Amino acid sequence: MKEITVLSGKGGTGKTSITAALASVAKNALICDNDVDASDLHLLLQPQIREENIYSGGWNVQIDSTKCSICETCIEICKFSAINYTKSGQLQINPFQCEGCRLCERVCPDDAITSYRNKNNYWYVSDTRFGTLVHAKLFPGEENSGKLISRIRIRAREIAEENKLHYIINDGPPGIGCTTISSLTGTQTVLLVTEPSKAALHDAKRLVELIAEFSIPAYAVINKFDIDMQQSQAVESYLQDNAVPVITKIAFTEDIIRAMIEGKTITEYKPESKVSLSINQIWNILKQ
């Protein structure tokens, strides 16, 4: 079984559109949406959920004013300045500053501070027209997105092994943070989707350096290459100089937008188009 992870240094390069198109031409493949902070692959794949699981995120901490003697011990030890006074003179915890370390709960002499896990996050196993999709929904601002990615990837591997599937296609998150690292761990091939802009080149450089640390073979696609030919050449030159083969360059086309409006991949919308032929070319190289 081979895992292929699609990444981009920045958002908006067309990574998810290309991932969905790859899923449409792949055979014996499972799709896993690793972009849990802002998942959108389901918008194109229109999944039918068959398995729903709760994922416990970060800790919420609260103070019981009926027990609190306002000794200020918690204020003294809180390194995040998350505990302050209300207008009525009681202590409260600011959830936007609290990091959920729970030290205040452990040192409170009145046992007035308690914590509980958030349970408003979910991960799913769903059926799509292209096969099984493992994906998640992380509430805005929640922690441990890297751990959530690890959890859904474990489940994806289990399902792939049970069904003797040959490939897992991961739609990874943009950037180089912990979620990207969680998406890279254990994968065999990376497809980098970029575009001809200075911001994309800057972020692609950081991502290429990160991928190199994992010693994972990487390939690249320059999407919308014809919107700035000079910058496109700069991106291609950098990738070639850093041993990242450019499989193909995809021209900007409104057909992809029209396909998305209809809830389709470009390979479904116009299977004989140049873009669709490029998608097939990308897949034929990645699966080898």
Q: What is the pLDDT of residue 13?
A: 95
pLDDT digits (tens, 9 = 90+) for 16-38: 999 999 999 999 999 999 999 88
pLDDT digits (tens, 9 = 90+) for 222-264: 999 999 999 999 999 999 999 999 999 999 999 999 999 999 9
User: In whole angstroms, how large is the CA radius of gyration of the chain?
Assistant: 23
Token output for 272: 């004989």
Q: What is the pLDDT of residue 58?
A: 76
Q: What is the pLDDT of residue 38?
A: 87
pLDDT digits (tens, 9 = 90+) for 256-267: 999 999 999 999
pLDDT digits (tens, 9 = 90+) for 100-154: 899 999 999 999 999 988 777 899 999 999 999 999 998 876 767 888 999 999 9
Given pLDDT bands bounded at 50, 70 and 90, which one contains residue 65? Answer: very high
pLDDT digits (tens, 9 = 90+) for 36-54: 988 999 999 999 999 999 9
Q: What is the pLDDT of residue 282?
A: 97
Distance CA 244, CA 274 (A): 23
Q: What is the pLDDT of residue 56?
A: 82
Q: What is the pLDDT of residue 202?
A: 97
In the chain, the domains with their CATH numbers are 2-56+123-286 (3.40.50.300), 59-117 (3.30.70.20)
- Please give the average per-residue pLDDT across 88-104, as a whole number: 93
Higher per-residue confidence, 14 vs 138: 14
Q: What is the pLDDT of residue 102?
A: 94
Q: What is the pLDDT of residue 145?
A: 83
pLDDT digits (tens, 9 = 90+) for 153-199: 999 999 999 999 999 999 999 999 999 999 999 999 999 999 999 99
